[in-house]
């Protein structure tokens, strides 16, 4: 089947077929950083007070110190490398130690934070590195969740009058299965959508998300429909340690997040990263050099969707109840916005983005829903002043700061 | 004596492409022989770039076949043709501005080694450092190797663009105006590099050019196009002295 | 057989509304390159405004329209004015907010020639979220009934039940589409707008104020979505999340039809409406949207320029 090539000569001339990275905001890095830092402070201060109490000042000092070190110490030197690794280890150490002794409700929050973090990390690969907008992350999460739960508990499903009792698989085995199923479905819908350049994947994934919702909601005999399914964590042990409490299950989520970030990091570091960067920079030129744009994009999309599927399996056990409504298209929009606010093309971005829709959202719940209005407004403002996201703005600021020092 | 010397490495047959009411390329056929430099000249609008786009896959022609080493690649996508050994540059300079010179070349080279899956498990430079450095040397870009391509001057980007077409050791390189917009000093460099690649590596090339002296010095054979058709084919001397060619340039 | 006619005519009515919505969406995409993911919310907002002005007693002033600040109860209450008057009042509001403000504050700032259109896409998703949640918090948290301007009578010619509402919708939409076509093709201003959409650079050289033409396009879109809001809300009710579904179906209609021309979006809309009703009647009411959505995926697979669109031209 020959390809319909919709890019004309004039388009090549005007670089209209370039998918450019969003790495230039309309205001200076200094100003953008200040605006973001100020908003962050305003929002996070009351949260810090409630979570850390007196020790908040100590933690704040550590955070600012690390932040300053990251900005000031030149990136590509030995010191810079040390600062980077200290920050990474410090962050994950904090993530591992902070929850000890915390209330269950905090742990539920954090559990959701790491799981959604993995979803957003996957989306970052699809969008930040391959430049494609996916609006089906929630659908893949839902697929992963239902597949995992149905297999884990050996549920009986009826398809067209034929009853089938599913095998009862150990929880951990259902995770890779969820990932596989999501990946296969994503390739199925991605393949036609990525045949030509344009926003087609966004629309196809949006349609797919609604189709998945309709299926989950209506097929009572398979998914129990809108009633949802209760999911219990009771029979799950890892290395002999019982994972029952929210506090313990959080570590499963954390491990998955680290896995997801690791996979994304690997893909970017290996030769695929260069190909993805090239196809984002100039897809026409990339194709003429042998870069199979379609294959790379499809693979990035598949991996991103697979990670969402696996996260869905964990999500089901984190919240102990799944229903189709949780995987509707507004949830996909949320994931997209989280990815962009965090910062495309960075590894810290997914963490920031996920915290915006989990931790932050929970703390702002006292406004009764108004925080979502502000979230929408915030996204609009971000696109105007800092489209590269919070992490991206930080990078831009650091580059500007260090260039200024070098030049001077 | 290798009999394949006289077998064309690329065969173009009956290539035609129309845009609305404009027949840009009309029934163009020619062969490309291994190791030669084939020039393509003609007045503006004669269809040279459209022809390239049809041969390399950017356009789907209305009619025509492209054969590479006996394989019909007419329906193949550009990446597939590139991997088979057809590489090109564009009339309008196209490099990856957000990547370094070295990364630009590595990208151009890496897609020809192994499969996508295997590339997932290779080290970032995939053992291509040697090949890439070789080309950086030949095109005299060593001092700029780690510079972002977007920061280079036009002429330097042009050199990079051309180098990218050669780094994968292709069977045939299609260069679209490699001397376009390049100042006289660099022009000599470009000519030297092309001559070098053809003499030492026996790389086959098809070059579209406006700069007559440049192409007359380099080409073994020249195709003259006018209004979408092939007017004549011959050695530089034959072309230079043909009255039809003179008329097409002066009369147009 | 009677059921088939009923379902099809009803589908054509819904389809006609989708056609109007799809045309608006397509116009924005073609003329400004703006892919507006908040298009559904652009329909939802006028619907809510029409309902509030038409049937409720809104307090105009600080509390009702700017509850973000909230607190003070200063303002005056106006009595309900009926649907048609409300419609007339909402049109200029829509033109201002969804046309002028949207264009000037977002589209102009985010769409640089030769640049990336992803920031605008994301921003429109943000706009959609903002509008959805704002309406949810400030005005209507639960679905509200929306009276039809044509009344509720049902005729029964030849044993086929046809609602007056459906007929009214088809008539109005036909008039609107024909007027739009006449305007674009036969009037000077319309031809200027077409020229600006086809090739902005050439149009500018010819002295056409391209930016103003684009603004007019946004204004036309605002009018179209308001009309769509008035006509569709009786069936879907006025709800804060109506935009999600409506938007998706409008995109589907525009893409299936092929948004190179107004005609494409029109046929796409009709097709989507009829297909939706057929799916609902003959497969399952729960899977109503499945028909159009599956067709969307199929069309993108084999003919991304749409069933009636032209290939190799991504703009008009």
The pLDDT assigned to A25 comes to: 53
Q: Contact A369/C136, CB-based, under 8 Å?
A: yes
User: Which strand (E) or helix (H) includes residue C4?
Assistant: helix C2-32
Is residue B130 a part of any domain in this protein?
A: no
Question: How far is C48 from chain A, CA to nearest CA, in Å?
Answer: 17
**CA A304 – CA A123 distance, rounded (Å):** 5
∠A59-A63-A65 over CA atoms, to 5°? 115
pLDDT digit string, tens, across residues A9-50: 444 444 444 433 444 555 677 777 788 888 777 777 777 777
User: What is the Cα–Cα distance from B110 to B114, expressed in whole angstroms?
Assistant: 8
ipTM of this complex prediction, to 2 decimal places: 0.89
Segment among B181-185, B191-195, C175-179 with least mean pLDDT? B181-185
Put simply, whether B97 touches A (Cβ < 8 Å) is yes
Task: Report pLDDT for A40.
Answer: 79
CA distances to A188, C21, C148 from C93, in Å:
44, 18, 21
Q: Which of A9, A271, A292 sits opposite B79 (nearest CB)?
A: A292
Q: Which of C259, C282, C236 is nearest to C24 (CA)?
A: C259
Close Cβ partners of B122 (under 8 Å, ≥ 6 residues apart): A270, A271, B114
What pLDDT band is residue A316 in, cutting at 50, 70 and 90? very high
3-state SS, one letter per residue, for C209-232: CHHHHHHHHHHHHHHHHHHHHHHH
- Average pLDDT, whole number, for chain C? 86
Q: Tens digit of pLDDT for each residue in B12-30?
A: 999 999 888 888 899 999 9
Strand, helix or coil for residue B207: strand
Strand partners, B31: B11
Contact A271 B82 (CB under 8 A): no
pLDDT tops 60 at residue A1: no
Which residues on B lie below 8 Å from A271 (Cβ)?
106, 110, 119-120, 122, 124, 126
Which comes out higher in pLDDT, residue B250 or A372? Answer: A372
Dist CA A358 CA A112 (whole Å): 7
> Are the beta carbons of A364 and A50 closer than 8 angstroms?
no
Q: Is the confidence at residue C149, as pLDDT, over 80?
A: yes
CA A263, CA A256: separation in Å to the nearest integer? 10
Of B196, B191, B227, B192, the closest CA to residue B209 belongs to B191
User: Nearest CA to A71 among A382, A404, A407?
Assistant: A404
Closest Cβ opposite residue A271 in set B56, B82, B119: B119
> Are C110 and A383 an interchain contact pair (Cβ–Cβ within 8 Å)?
yes
User: Strand pairing partners for A204?
Assistant: none
How far, in Å, CA of C107 to CA of C119, rounded? 10
Beta strands A237-238 and B10-19 are: unpaired
Determine the Cα–Cα distance for residues A397 and C170; give it in Å rounded to an integer.
56
CB count in 10 Å sphere of residue A265: 14
Summarize pLDDT for C35-58 with one digit per residue, the tens. Answer: 999 999 999 999 999 998 888 877
Q: Which of A61-70, A229-238, B133-142, C14-23 has the lowest mean pLDDT?
A: A229-238
Which residues contact residue B58 at a Cβ distance below 8 angstroms, ignoring those fewer than 6 apart? A5, A7, A12, A284, A288, B52, B78
Ramachandran area for residue A102 (φ above 0: left; ψ -120 to 50: alpha; else beta): beta
| Cβ count within 10 A of residue A70 | 17
Question: Which chains, if any, share at least 3 CB pairs under 8 A with chain B?
Answer: A
Range of the domain at B202: 3-94+170-251
CB pairs under 8 A between A and C: 147
Identify the band that residue C115 occupies on the pLDDT scale cut at 50, 70 and 90: low
Residue B157 has pLDDT above 60, yes or no: yes
Query: C: neighbours with 3+ CB pairs under 8 Å?
Result: A
Where does residue C8 rank: exposed (0-12), middle (13-18), buried (19+ CB within 10 A)? middle
Nearest-angstrom CA–CA distance, A127 and A113: 20
Provide the pLDDT for residue B66: 94
Lowest mean pLDDT among A173-182, A359-368, B189-198: A359-368
In A, minimum Cα distance to C245 occurs at A210
Q: Which residues of chain C have a CB within 8 Å of the CB of A332?
A: none
Residues B99 and B107: their CA atoms lie apart, in Å, by 10
| Residue A22 CA, distance from chain mean position | 18
Is residue C196 a contact partner of residue C203, using CB atoms and an 8 Å limit? Answer: yes
Phi/psi for C215 (5° steps) reads -60, -45
Count of other CB atoms within 10 angstroms of residue C3: 11
Residues in C closer than 8 angstroms to A133, CB to CB, are 118, 121
DSSP letter at A364 equals G
Q: Indicate the pLDDT class of residue A175, thresholds 50, 70 and 90.
A: very high
Instruction: Note the helical H segments in C258-309.
Output: 262-278, 290-302
Residue B196 and residue B188 in contact, taking contact as beta carbons nearer than 8 Å = no
The closest of C53, C235, C312 to B53, measured between CA atoms, is: C312
Nearest chain C residue to A388 by CA: give it.
C119
C43 neighbors C246 (Cβ within 8 angstroms): yes
When pLDDT is averaged across residues A248-269 and rounded to a whole number, the result is: 92
The answer to whether residues C113 and A18 touch, using CB atoms and an 8 Å cutoff, is no
Dihedral of the alpha carbons of B192, B193, B199, B202, in degrees to the nearest 10: -150
The whole-angstrom separation of Cα C37 and Cα C122 is 8
Half-sphere exposure of A95 (CA within 13 A, CB side): 22
Most confident of A84-98, C32-46, C248-262: C32-46
Q: Residues of C with CB below 8 A from A383's CB?
A: 110, 119-120, 122-123, 126
Smallest CA–CA separation between C127 and chain A, in Å? 6
Q: Tell me phi and psi for residue B67, to 5 degrees.
A: -120, 130
Q: Name the residue in chain C with its Cα closest to that of A206.
A: C248
3-state SS class at B175: strand
- Residue pLDDT, tens place only, B203-237: 999 999 988 889 999 999 999 998 888 988 999 98
- The minimal CB distance from A277 to the residues B90, B99, B164 is found for B99
pLDDT of residue A186: 96
Q: State residue C316's pLDDT score.
A: 20
Q: Report chain C residues whose CB lies below 8 A from the CB of A387.
A: 119, 122
The two tokens of residue A153 are 């508990």
Q: The tokens of B59 are what?
A: 């356009």
Q: How confident is the model at residue A238 (pLDDT cuts 50, 70, 90)?
A: low
How far, in Å, are A133, A348, A355, C47, C125 from residue C119 at the CA level? 11, 20, 21, 28, 10
| SS3 label, residue B231 | strand
A134 contacts in chain C (CB < 8 Å): none
Q: Round the average pLDDT of chain A to a whole number and report it.
A: 84
Q: Which residues of C touch A185 (CB under 8 A)?
A: none
The percentage of residues in chain B with a pLDDT greater than 90, rounded to a whole number, is 41
A240: confidence class by pLDDT, cuts 50, 70, 90: low
**Mean pLDDT in residue range A91-100:** 84
Residue B58 touches chain A, beta carbons under 8 Å: yes
With beta carbons less than 8 A apart as the criterion, state whether A388 and A344 touch. Answer: yes
Question: CA–CA separation, A346 vs C219, rounded Å?
Answer: 39
Report the residue of C125, C239, C251, C279 to disrupt the A interface, i.e. the one with the largest count of A CBs within 10 Å: C125
Q: Which residue in C has a C-alpha nearest to residue A200's C-alpha?
A: C300
In this prediction, residue B155 has a pLDDT band, given cuts at 50, 70 and 90, of confident
Q: For position B15, which CATH number holds? A: 3.40.50.300
Phi, psi at residue B14, to the nearest 5°? 50, 45
CA dist A206 and A134 (Å) reads: 8
Give the minimum alpha-carbon distance from C159 to chain A in angstroms, rounded to a whole number. Answer: 33
Question: Is the CB of C109 less than 8 angstroms away from the CB of A133?
Answer: no
Q: Which two tokens stand for residue A258?
A: 């680290």
| Confidence band for B105, pLDDT divided at 50, 70 and 90 | very high
CB atoms within 10 A of CB C179: 10
The reported pLDDT for the residue numbered C156 is 82
How many angstroms separate the first and last alpha carbons of chain C?
Answer: 40
* Separation of alpha carbons C114 and A13, rounded Å: 10
In chain A, which residue's Cα lies nearest the Cα of C312? A6
Residue B10: band (very low, low, confident or very high) from pLDDT cuts 50, 70, 90:
very high
Tell me how far apart the alpha carbons of residues A100 and A353 are, in angstroms, rounded to a whole number.
Answer: 24
Task: Check the CA dihedral A185-A191-A194-A200 and report its sign.
Answer: negative
Q: How far is C312 from chain A (nearest CA, A)?
A: 5
Identify the weakest region by mean pLDDT among A114-123, A225-234, A261-270, A377-386: A225-234
Distance from CA of A268 to the nearest CA of B (A): 9
Fold of C2-302: ABC transporter involved in vitamin B12 uptake, BtuC (1.10.3470)
Question: Domain map of chain C by residue range?
Answer: 2-302
The whole-number pLDDT of residue C74 equals 59
Do the beta carbons of residue A215 and residue C290 sit within 8 Å? no
pTM of the model: 0.89
Question: Between chains, do A195 and C301 touch, taking CB under 8 Å as contact?
Answer: yes
What DSSP string runs through C96-122? IIIIIIHIIIIIHHH--TTS-SHHHHH
pLDDT at C228: 95
Number of domains in chain B: 1
B212 vs A259: which has the higher pLDDT: A259
What is the model's pLDDT at position A237?
67
C2/B164: higher pLDDT: B164
Q: Hey, how many other C-beta atoms are within 10 angstroms of the C-beta on B154?
A: 13
* Average confidence (pLDDT) over C145-153: 87
Q: B250 CB contacts (<8 Å, ≥6 apart)?
A: none
In DSSP terms, B32 is beta-bridged to B10
Q: For chain A, list the contacting chains (3+ Cβ pairs, <8 Å).
A: B, C
């Amino acid at each position: 089947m020959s390809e319909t090539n919709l890019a004309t000569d004039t388009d090549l001339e005007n670089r209209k077929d370039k998918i450019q990275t969003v790495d230039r905001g309309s205001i200076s890095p200094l100003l953008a950083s200040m605006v973001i830092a100020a908003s962050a402070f305003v929002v996070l201060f009351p949260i810090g007070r409630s979570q850390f109490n007196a020790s908040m000042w100590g933690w704040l000092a550590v955070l600012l110190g690390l932040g300053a070190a990251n900005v000031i110490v030149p990136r590509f030197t030995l010191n810079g490398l040390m600062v980077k690794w200290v920050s990474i280890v410090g962050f994950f150490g904090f993530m591992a130690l902070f929850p000890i002794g915390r209330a269950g409700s905090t742990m539920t929050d954090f559990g959701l934070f790491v799981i959604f973090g993995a979803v957003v990390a996957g989306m970052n690969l699809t969008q930040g590195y391959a430049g494609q907008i996916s609006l089906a992350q929630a659908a893949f999460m839902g697929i992963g969740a239902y597949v995992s739960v149905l297999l884990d508990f050996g549920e009986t499903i009826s398809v067209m009058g034929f009853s089938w009792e599913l095998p009862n698989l150990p929880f951990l085995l259902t995770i890779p299965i969820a990932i596989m199923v999501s990946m296969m479905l994503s390739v199925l819908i991605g393949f036609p959508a990525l045949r030509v350049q344009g926003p087609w994947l966004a629309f196809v994934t949006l349609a797919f998300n609604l189709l998945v919702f309709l299926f989950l909601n209506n097929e009572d005999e398979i998914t129990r429909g809108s009633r949802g399914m209760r999911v219990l964590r009771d029979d799950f042990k890892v290395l002999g340690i019982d994972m029952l409490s929210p506090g313990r299950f959080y570590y499963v989520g954390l491990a998955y997040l680290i896995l997801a970030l690791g996979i994304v990091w690997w893909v970017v570091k290996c030769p695929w990263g260069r190909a993805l960067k090239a196809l984002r920079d100039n897809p026409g030129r990339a194709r003429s050099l042998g870069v199979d744009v379609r294959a790379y994009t499809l693979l990035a999309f598949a991996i991103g969707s697979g990670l969402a599927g696996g996260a869905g399996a964990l999500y089901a056990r984190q919240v102990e109840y799944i229903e189709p409504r949780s995987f509707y298209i507004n949830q996909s929009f949320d994931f997209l916005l989280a990815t962009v606010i965090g910062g495309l093309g960075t590894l810290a971005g997914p963490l920031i983005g996920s915290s915006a829709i989990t931790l932050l959202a929970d703390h702002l719940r006292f406004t009764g829903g108004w925080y979502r209005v502000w979230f929408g407004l915030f996204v609009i403002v971000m696109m105007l002043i800092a489209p590269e996201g919070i992490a991206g703005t930080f990078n831009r600021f650091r580059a500007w700061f260090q260039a200024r020092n070098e030049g001077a | 004596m290798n009999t394949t010397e006289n077998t064309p490495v690329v065969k173009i047959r009956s290539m035609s492409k129309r845009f609305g009411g404009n027949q840009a390329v009309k029934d163009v056929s020619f062969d490309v022989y291994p190791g030669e430099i084939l020039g393509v000249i003609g007045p503006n609008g004669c269809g040279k770039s459209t022809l390239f786009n049809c041969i390399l896959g950017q356009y789907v022609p209305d009619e025509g076949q492209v054969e590479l080493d006996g394989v019909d690649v007419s329906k193949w996508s550009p990446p597939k043709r590139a991997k088979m050994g057809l590489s090109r540059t564009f009339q309008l300079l196209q490099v990856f501005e957000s990547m370094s010179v070295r990364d630009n070349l590595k990208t151009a080279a890496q897609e020809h080694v192994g499969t996508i899956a295997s590339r997932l498990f290779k080290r970032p430079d995939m053992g291509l450092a040697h090949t890439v450095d070789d080309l950086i040397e030949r095109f005299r870009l060593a001092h700029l190797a780690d510079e972002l391509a977007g920061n280079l001057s036009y002429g330097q980007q042009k050199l990079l663009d051309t180098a990218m077409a050669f780094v994968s050791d292709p069977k045939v390189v299609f260069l679209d105006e490699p001397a376009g917009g390049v100042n006289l000093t660099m022009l000599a460099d470009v000519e030297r590099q092309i001559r070098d690649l053809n003499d030492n590596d026996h790389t086959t090339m098809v070059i579209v050019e406006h700069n007559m002296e440049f192409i007359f010095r380099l080409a073994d054979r020249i195709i003259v196009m006018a209004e979408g058709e092939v007017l004549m084919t011959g050695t530089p001397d034959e072309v230079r002295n043909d009255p039809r060619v003179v008329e097409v340039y002066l009369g147009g | 057989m009677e059921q088939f006619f009923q379902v099809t005519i009803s589908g054509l009515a819904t389809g006609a509304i989708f056609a109007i919505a799809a045309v608006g969406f397509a116009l924005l995409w073609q003329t400004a390159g703006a892919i507006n993911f908040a298009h559904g919310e652009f329909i939802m907002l006028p619907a809510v405004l029409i309902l509030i002005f038409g049937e409720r007693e809104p307090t105009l002033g600080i509390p009702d329209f700017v509850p973000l600040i909230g607190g003070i109860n200063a303002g005056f209450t106006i009595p309900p004015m009926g649907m048609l008057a409300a419609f007339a009042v909402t049109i200029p509001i829509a033109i201002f907010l969804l046309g002028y403000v949207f264009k000037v504050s977002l589209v102009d700032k985010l769409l640089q020639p030769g640049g990336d259109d992803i920031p605008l896409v994301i921003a429109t998703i943000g706009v959609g979220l903002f509008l959805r949640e704002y309406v949810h918090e400030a005005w209507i948290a639960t679905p509200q009934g929306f009276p039809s301007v044509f009344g509720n009578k049902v005729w029964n010619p030849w044993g086929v039940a046809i609602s007056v509402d459906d007929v009214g919708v088809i008539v109005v939409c036909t008039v609107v589409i024909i007027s739009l076509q006449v305007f674009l093709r036969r009037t000077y201003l319309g031809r200027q707008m077409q020229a600006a959409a086809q090739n902005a650079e050439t149009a500018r050289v010819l002295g056409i104020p391209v930016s103003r033409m684009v603004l007019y396009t946004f204004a036309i879109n605002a009018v179209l979505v308001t009309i769509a809001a008035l006509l569709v809300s009786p069936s879907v009710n006025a709800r804060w999340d109506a935009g999600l579904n409506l938007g998706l179906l409008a995109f589907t209609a525009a893409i299936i039809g092929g948004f190179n021309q107004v005609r494409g979006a029109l046929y796409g809309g009709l097709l989507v409406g009829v297909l939706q009703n057929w799916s609902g009647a003959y497969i399952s009411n729960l899977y109503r949207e499945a028909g159009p959505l599956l067709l969307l995926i199929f069309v993108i697979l084999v003919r991304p320029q749409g069933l009636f669109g032209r290939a190799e031209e991504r703009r008009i």
